[in-house]
Amino acid sequence: MGGLEWFVVGVFVASVTAGLLGALVGLGGGVLIVPLLTIGFGLNIRLAIGASIVSVIATSSGAAAAYVRDHLTNVRVAMLLELATTTGAVTGAVVAAYLNARVLFLLFGVILLVSVLPMVKKLGEEVPVNIVDDRLAARLRLASTYPDRALGKVVPYRVTRVPLGFGMMYVAGVVSGLLGIGSGALKVLAMDTAMRLPMKVSTATSNFMIGVTAAASAGIYFWRGDILPLVAAPVALGVLTGATVGAKLLVRFRNRTVRLIFLVVLFAVAVEMFLRGAGIG
C-alpha cells in the first residue's frame, strides 16, 4: 500500500476512537475531529473543518432516528429554531472563507472550553417546574409532552424566553458553520438554560437539529472543494462506527473515569489549538 492508503486507514482508526469517546461522554465526536486532523495529521484547518462537518451529519442523523421514534423530540421547537441555526450556519460557512487560519484555531480553542462546561456542571433541570409559556410559545403552541421511561408517565412541559433561545441558536449556527462542529453544547445551553425545556427533550431536540444545521453549511464546503473525499470518507465512516459502538457500550460504561479522561484530553487539545492560533504551537 502507498502513503495515501495508510493515511486513509490511520484517519479511520483515529476517527473510530474520537466517535467512541464522544459517544461515551455524550458529546458528538466532531469536536475532536478538527484537532485530530490538524494537529495529528498536519491538515489545513479548512479541510479539517470540511471533513468534520460531514461526520457531524452522520452521527446526528443516526442518533436522531432513535430519538424521534421515542417521541422525545419537540419537532415544532426544532423547526422554529432551525430558522436561526441554518441561517447562522450559512453565515458561518461564508465568513470562514475570509478568516485567517489562526483566527479559526483561536475560536476553536474557545469553543472547546465552552463544550467542557456542561460536563463539569450539569446544566438545566431534568423537568423544570413553574414555567409559564411566553407570548411566542403560546402563540406557536410550543408546549408539549414527552414520555419519561424513568418516571413511567407522559410529562407535560412549558416553553419560555423564545426570543432569547432563538438568538442563542443563531450564534450556535454560526459556530457550527464556522468550525465544522455540531455545537451541541451551545444548543443545549439555549434550550435547557434559556427556554427551560426538560433535559431529555432538549438533548433529543438538539440532536435532531444538529444534522440540519450541519447540512446547511456542508453544501457550501462541498462545492467549494473543502471536503476531500479521501479525508471525509474515513472520518465519516470512522465516527459513525465509533458512535454506534459507543452507544452500545454506554449502558455498561458510564462512569466518572471516562469523563475525567475526556475532560483532560479536551483541555489539552484546547490549549494546543490556542497555541497554534497564537503562532506558538
Partner 1 sequence: MEQAETPRAGPVAPLRPPGAHPIELWISYVLRIGTTLAGTIILVGVALFLIHGPQAGEPATLHDMIGGGGHSVATSWLDVVRGVAHGHAFDVIRLGLLVLILTPTTRVAMTVALFVAERDRVFIVATTIVLIILILGLIGLGA
Interface of this chain with partner 1, residues 237 to 266, rule: CB under 8 A? 237, 240
Minimum distance from residue 234 beta carbon to partner 1 (Å): 7
Grid cell digits, residue 70:
421515542
43 makes contact with partner 1 (CB under 8 A): yes
Minimum distance from residue 75 beta carbon to partner 1 (Å): 6
Grid cell digits, residue 220:
457550501
**Which of 119, 123, 140, 265: binder of partner 1 (CB under 8 A)?**
140
Minimum distance from residue 172 beta carbon to partner 1 (Å): 15
Minimum distance from residue 242 beta carbon to partner 1 (Å): 13
Instruction: Check if the beta carbon of residue 137 is closer than 8 Å to that of residue 162.
Output: yes
Grid cell digits, residue 29:
465526536
**Which of 41, 103, 138, 250: binder of partner 1 (CB under 8 A)?**
41
Residue 117 CB contacts under 8 Å (≥ 6 apart), including other chains: 123, 185, 189
CB-nearer residue toward partner 1: 91 or 119? 91
Strand-pair category, 153-157 with 144-148: antiparallel
**Which of 226, 247, 266, 269: binder of partner 1 (CB under 8 A)?**
226
CB-nearer residue toward partner 1: 27 or 78? 78
**By rule CB under 8 A, what string of x and - marks binding of each residue 1-30 to partner 1?**
-xxxxxxx----------------------
135 makes contact with partner 1 (CB under 8 A): no
Q: Where are the alpha helices (DSSP H) in 26-73?
A: 30-35, 45-69
Minimum distance from residue 141 beta carbon to partner 1 (Å): 8
> Distance between CA atoms of 73 and 203, rounded to whole angstroms?
8
195-224 residues near partner 1, rule: CB under 8 A:
211-212, 214-224
Question: Which of 3, 1, 2, 39 has its CA nearest to residue 18?
Answer: 39
Backbone angles phi, psi at 71, to 5 degrees: 60, 30
Q: Nearest 10 degrees: CA dihedral of 117, 200, 150, 145? A: 150
174 makes contact with partner 1 (CB under 8 A): no
> Distance between CA atoms of 224 and 213, rounded to whole angstroms?
18
47-86 residues near partner 1, rule: CB under 8 A:
47, 54, 57-58, 60-62, 64-66, 68-71, 73, 75-76, 79-80, 82-83, 86
